[in-house]
Structure 1
C-alpha cells in the first residue's frame, strides 16, 4: 500500500520552493521543478506540490 504524502499543496507555477513550513524547525530551502510532471514531492519533508489544473506550465 502506497504511503500518502504528509501534506498536498496546490500551486500555480511548476517551480516551487519548500522550507518545511515550520520556521526554524523546518529544513533548508530547496527549489523544485516539476519538469512537466504536474507534481513533485519535497525530498526533505515529503510535501507534495501539485500544479493546479489550468495553470500555465513554463
Structure 2
C-alpha cells in the first residue's frame, strides 16, 4: 500500500488522528523505526524523520 501522505517530523514518536474531524480516526502514537519511518495503520500516513534531525534512542 502506498502512503496517502508523507509528513516530515523531528521526533521519533508521533501521534496521528487522521487529520481529525469526521474523516479522522482514534489517536494512535507511533515510534519511528530504525529507518526513520512509521506508517499509520488506520489512514496510511507515513511519518519520516526530517533530514538532519537526530532521533534520540533511549532516555
Which category of TM-score, normalised to the shorter sequence, fits these structures? 0.7 to 0.9
Q: Say whether residues 1:46 and 2:49 are aligned partners.
A: no
If the length of structure 2 is used for normalisation, what is the TM-score?
0.83
Can you give the 5+ residue segments of structure 2 that lack an aligned partner in the other structure? none
- CA distance in 1: counterparts of 2:41 and 2:30, whole angstroms: 9
Please, what is the CA RMSD of the aligned residues?
A: 1.3
Deviation at 1:19, TM superposition (A): 0.2
> SS at 1:31's partner residue?
strand
If the length of structure 1 is used for normalisation, what is the TM-score?
0.84
Aligned residue pair count? 56
Can you give the 5+ residue segments of structure 1 that lack an aligned partner in the other structure? none
Q: Deviations over 1:9-50 (max 9, x none)?
A: 001111100000032430000000014221110000000001
